[in-house]
Structure 1
């Protein structure tokens, strides 16, 4: 599930992000340029109208007696252009820096306004773009105006931006859906790889674009070769194991006829070691093709049986935990894994303490010993096959170093984990953390 999520939000997410960023940049730039160009066109048109109205108003006011100018101002006013006459000078408002270009444009359209001491300012700087102003008449009176149709274009209109954003979002969503459809075979490929990792054989249909079809075809060929290699390896191991066990059995029968007890014991020990090595190799390399299916298993009884077998052979071992604990697991593989851990504890530390407990929907089989433990830097190393530490070899023990790797592989196949830690009081702690319901293959 995690890998599928990574693929979905990895390749698809990155392509989608590239598409999103490209469209967003193009949209923002084009919208700003469009708005700016449109505002410049509106400003030029409206500035021309305001310039004409100001020139007409100033000429009419200069020609009108002072007593009639207030009434004339009302008649000249409209909803878009409001005019007021003041007999004395109106307190000037500093010209806003951004309106300098607009003033120059109005004066260039009506040169007569250049001598009228024209001032422009914004009605509410920072909040409104409505332009207001004053200009002087010939007799020293002043004309104040408000051009509501003349809006300063320095800010982008947010509502128009949102309106233009709708088709861009629609295009992004459509592109994302198309990308998801194109990359569907990749998600199928990811799921198939996970299933193959659990031992299944999956033949994928060759669908999608040309490049993905080639990947799927190569994947099918690759997994066919891998499965054939596994089959050949398993058959060869089974054949070698059978061929080796036959002469081993004959040697064991012949060893019983040796009169010298010391020699007979030494040969029997060597034969037992050879038998254990063959069994370990078959268990490790034949595990991938193990036909065993999960069944309802009493894990507590199985673990107690392993401990009882060890005590019957004279080894110090004890069990603590429930008398019964049902779980859906592969009993043969579980017995082999726990048996290897118990055998290692007895072999390297002369004793094993085995416990069983539950943690939610998981079970934990814990095998502890009182030995010297494993160096911290080697805890991960011993999970690899054929690794035997110097400490083990110094104890004159036999084996190929496959006990812990077999338990580790079993835990992974069951959807669990094998944890190795050193106990604070000394010794090694091995924990098989397994789900109560093994994944189906």
Structure 2
């Protein structure tokens, strides 16, 4: 029973947040599993142009996060979050209306722009709902739930792929939109959080002048690129550089998903404040460098040895991934002023999107161009990022200063 406490969210606010996240990530799983085939087979957009459109749309969309976080801070995060999540559901349904390349760019920019805005607003809401000592554990439950949601969504999307009809694809797109709406409406069940007191003096967007926090966010952008090691690079690596069967990639994904569901909360223990989060990032860099070495060892080996190295690398990789996530939650909240959580979460979200957008192309080019030595380059990058976390976070801590706040907030 004690083990279940690390898997099932406790009743109350944390469980409501996890349910909301389950609906949201289930919608993501549906869209991730069907989007490329829908746009290539039904809308008849060439595959390479689909990838370009999704990248361009993502690059445009992330610009909304900081302004939306500011809006959540000054107007109150719950109504802003609910409104944006409902808008996200409506916008996602717009994918069914796309009829060409430019329409896909526009739809993706709108959807991801609203999603980035909603994530920043939700960050402000979580800061108001959860005491600082409880945030890391609550967010660990949310990440574990997210893996369940993505898996369920992918299964539903897979059923749609079996049907392979326009009506089936559109039905799944509309279902994903409805799940986003459900995710947003779930926040109506949590207590309202008042608007944050505004600073009596200083810029309205202090996060844009906070170079130390920007440096922390840059470290985050590098460490979050580790996701692409498994999802993007591994299918190419297995098929072109190892004797392992291509289907072994599915085993690796299942191991990754199961590990996050079962162990994320446990791994996050001790990372519930800034020192703990910093240590988690430092360890993450070392562990991710280790997984790169194990993946490199799989090249040119017998089938059983290649599979063993890949499986070991997967286990080490998911540990590094979980350590990064635990540290990210603690640092993004712990280094943000209490009156500006929304905009700080917005900038941190931008760094995450930057890393996930750049990673597929960067890591693929390194591995294709350098082969096994590409893993050495990746290991060095992750190791350097983890080591950089220590001085960068110390810099950020030295530059934290509590502003003078107004006694009343007319903007609320």
When normalised by structure 1's length, the TM-score is 0.20
When normalised by structure 2's length, the TM-score is 0.22
Higher relative contact order (CA 8 A, sep 6+): 2
More helix by share: 2
